Chains A and B, each alone.
Chain A
Amino acid sequence: MAAPIAERRHGFGFTAPLLGLMFIAFNLPILYMLALSIWSAEGGLTGAYYAELIDTPIYMRVLGNTLRISVVATLVNVAIGYPLAYWMRGLSPRAQFIAVALVITPFWISILVRTYAWIVVLGNNGMVNRLLLWSGAVDAPVSFLYNELGVMIGMANVLLPFLVLPLFASMLRIDDRLMQAAASLGAPPRTIFLKVFLPLTLPALAAGALLVFILCLGFYVTPAILGGGKVPMISNLLDMMINQYPRWEQASAVSTLLLVVTLAIFAGYRALDRKVGA
């Protein structure tokens, strides 16, 4: 059904002011950054910075490291988040509301706060270690902090809501009667879960996982604080390149590379997202 002329004329005008803002605040700076990465100091296009990027194995390795950590953190999120969403689905509406509130609230609390709290919990003198030492499970404090483990824990904690909420929403939409039907046909509970429930949630799960993965890639605050300088991720490298060295053209090249990777992954996310909405 075609929209009436009045609407068609109006549509663009409403979005125009925002488009203007996006141009100044986002599109142009990103394009400028892209341009910096291919514009040499003397003037003229150059691939030198990208060549240097590939020639410096450490930069590619940091990118690879970031990808690896992001994958693991995403899997951890899935391992914790899926059971959580599943359990929430089975709660009474009032309990569901409380659970959703508990999942959402940390999402809005400053990420610095949540990261800081993990220093208190995981440090050598922190709660967990004191508990372990007191119970005799270990005789020296375990290093939870200032390494990859600490960063993973921090990231999982911060990004969990991004996975749980859409997953929970999609689980809610699954009709109970489908499973009742399967049960009435004689299927055992495990089969019902594996063959009926799980496949229906897979699109939302995959989409949520991809979102978490993308967020992990660009993460700055948590790895910077919980990593103790020993967990080199792309964001920290970019910070060094911008603030400390500084090598802005290099930073542009690295940024652009990361952007390309992210957009490719996001294209995959959108495809899956459309499948969920369908």
Chain B
Amino acid sequence: MKRRTLIKATAGLPLVAILRPGLAQAQVKEIRMIEAGGKSGESIEVGYGNPFTAKTGIKLVRESPAPFGKLQAMVASGNITAATFELGSGSLVQAVKLGLVEKLDWAAINPMAIFPEAKHEYGFGYQYYSTGMAWRKGAKAPTNWADFFNTKDFPGKRTLPDYPQYAIPFALLAEGVPMDKLFPLDVDRAIKKLLSIRRDISVLWKAGAQPPQLLKDNEVQYAIAWSGRIVEEKELEFTFKEAAADLSYICTVKGAPKAEQEAVAKLYYEMSVPENQAKAAAVIAYTGSSPNLDPLLPKDKLHIYPTAKQNKDVQWVSNAAWWAENGEAVNKKWEEFKFNL
């Protein structure tokens, strides 16, 4: 009798060892994410945070906005207050260079099928978004970037993003540079083009919600904006022609506690589920990275999504590596440009 109990007891030991990582995980009460904010942030909560919390009982706490400096400060201080951080494609390259993000354990995440570019070594590409021309219904519709920069035939004020990675290439497209020959960027030529319409540049916006607001208030008549903010507005128009298609990533911050990283892996899994992506797309018109997403999107609204076939073909994608190399020099030129406005 005694021996049998002993054998049973020792048989239980490996079971406990397997359970222990689970025990550590049970201590994680919440995962914090620093993200871009606004509707985009809400889409993360609705699409991925809620199913994640339903499955694991762990809360997802969001914080916004997500300037790059915040990530650097967090890692530098050694006090990782948020395990996840949202980064654009260019910032991701920079973050990897500076050692600010952890490598993702894709085996542990075990995602459903996602596009290859979304499966970055250091980040989960969770959101395709487009940057392009927007205008008020009723204003003369521009058909290409040359029109956008033509203030004579298309009169009105413009608002441009205070982000050179968007403004510079569009100016070059307006100069007639073909989409596949954009990089390496001729920055000086672009700045000259931008300065040529300086009188009509009303605002340089920093937040995605500014352009639609300015358009609706009739403060400006034309804007460069992120598609998701425009396409669902009744009084505004957007075109994907010659727009910039881009991917936003969620990354794990370097130095995040192991237990949190394991929990985050589950969150990443949720981001690969097409049904969740459809829910997110209902909040803001951006698409997730599943190839099986299209059938789940509303048929009549397919044209508002960046990755819909008709849109994907007419857009161009930025060269993150070039920006990582040249970003700083371009930033200085951009400051000069603003000064000369």
Contacts and interface: CB of A to CB of B under 8 A. Distances in A.
| A/B: CB atoms within 8 Å of each other | yes
Interface of A: 56-59, 61-62, 65, 123-125, 143, 145-146, 228-230, 232, 237, 240, 242-248
B335 A62 contact: yes
Given A232-B335, A232-B339, A243-B70, A143 B202 contact: yes
Nearest to B336: A58
Contacts, number: 64
A40 B230 CA distance: 45
A162 to B, nearest CB: 28
B338 A229 contact: yes
B67 interface: yes
B69 interface: yes
B326 to A, nearest CB: 13
B202 A245 contact: no
Contacts of A244: 67-69
A145 B214 CA distance: 12
Contact of A146 (B72, B203, B332): B203
B68 A245 contact: yes
Contact of A56 (B68, B204, B332): B332
A220 B278 CA distance: 40
B218 A242 contact: no
Nearest to A143: B202
A141 to B, nearest CB: 9
A228 B204 contact: yes
B275 interface: no
B132 to A, nearest CB: 20
A65 B68 CA distance: 27
Contacts of A58: 332, 335-336, 339
B217 A125 contact: yes
Contacts of B339: 58, 61-62, 65, 232
B217 A237 contact: no
Interface string B313-341: 00000000000000010011001101101
B205 interface: yes
